[in-house]
Amino acid sequence: MNIKALRVFRSIVLQGSLAAAAERMHMSQSAASRLIGLLEAELKITLFSRNRRKLVLTLEGEMFYQEVEQVLGGIDEMQQIAADIRHRTTEKFTFVTSPPLGASLAVPAISRMRRAHPGFECRIHVEGRFDIENKVARRRFSLGLISLPVTNAIVELDAEPVFQARVGVLLPRNHALAAESSIAAAQLAQEPVVTLQGNQLWRRRLDEIYASAGITPHIAIESTSTILVQQLVREGNGISLIDRACLHPVPDAELALRPLVPERWVTYGCIYPVQGRSPLADLFLKCLREHLRALARTGARNDLRILKPGTALAEMHP
């Protein structure tokens, strides 16, 4: 398959028109159009519907684009990978996690690593959950940090549970419920909720908690970002459910986190290829546990359970 045709296809989707894509790729519109025609003939599917000289993705084109992004993303990284191999004079640590865990846990742990082992290089990515699991399994990253268990049954990964975080209710400091030492889901029945969209893991957890209490959440605002959810709660738009691991690392005097009753805990751990972990991955785990112990000493003791190295999922408290 012609890689240049795939790049033209992606460019048309991203730029919004054949003309803009051709200009960006320094080729004529006719040459770009010819490549798309050859690609469609090879695939035996129609990628664009042509209406009033505009190219609009078909359903098949939309599905194909998602796969093309994965393929070209990998190809685009090859040059950097080759450069790393040619010039590797120090060990490199590649790490991937979600945005909230990256800010709250990965950055402090990696800062500790660099103080202990200043010579290494590091590459940090933030991705969606599926991509984290998929790319770690394909050895694109040395280590990933996610909630457990692994949800992608197709990939082969090893995992080590590191800690558990208690689910709590996030609300403005001046909210009436902030005076409570703990909060039951039933107390939230009339509260507007700020949460993630329905296809995201934290939203599914919220729906399960409300359903177990026999109530329906009053969803006021949905977002794709945990960080935005926290800001929206801070501004008084509603309450949310979250745990200490996903909170912004800087203490916030305008927000309160109160434990949910009955207790619910989320297990977090590191995932790595089945071939094993690198020494730097082991160092990261050590530094992550050190940071968690420091976090517990500053007031999160009742919200965190730090697990011993080698703990198996079956050994943990529910």
Specify the CATH number for the domain of residue 31. 1.10.10.10
Among the three residues 36, 70, 85, which one is the final residue of a domain in this structure? 85
Check residue 170 and report its DSSP letter: E
Which pTM does this prediction carry?
0.72
71 and 186 assigned to the same domain: no
Residues 134 and 271 in one domain: yes
Residues 81 and 94 in one domain: no
**The pLDDT value given to residue 188:** 96
pLDDT mean for each 10 residues of the chain (318 residues): 88 88 91 91 89 80 87 76 57 89 94 87 91 90 95 87 96 96 95 93 94 96 93 96 86 88 96 91 95 86 89 61
Boundary-marking domain end, from 28, 62, 85: 85
Cα distance between residue 256 and residue 244, in whole Å: 11
Q: What is the rounded distance in angstroms from the CA atom of residue 277 to the CA atom of residue 271?
A: 9
248 and 207 both lie in a single domain: yes
Position 14 scores a pLDDT of 87
Query: 274 and 125, same structural domain?
Result: yes
158 and 274 housed in the same domain:
yes
Domain hosting 295: range is 87-163+267-315
The number of folded domains in the chain is 3
CATH number assigned to the domain comprising residue 119: 3.40.190.10
- Is 272 found in the same domain as 146? yes
Q: Given this model, what pLDDT does residue 83 score?
A: 64
Boundary (domain end) residue, out of 61, 85, 109: 85
Looking at the structure, do residues 143 and 282 belong to the same domain, yes or no?
A: yes
pLDDT for res 286 = 95
Long-range contacts, 261-264 (Cβ 8 Å, 24+) = 261/182, 261/183, 261/184, 262/184, 263/166, 263/167, 264/166, 264/167, 264/205, 264/209
| Helix (H), strand (E) at residue 60 | helix 59-87
pLDDT at 147: 96
Both 196 and 310 in one domain: the answer is: no
pLDDT of amino acid 174 = 95
Residues 204 and 238 in one domain: yes
| Selection from 278, 288, 276 nearest residue 121 by Cα | 278
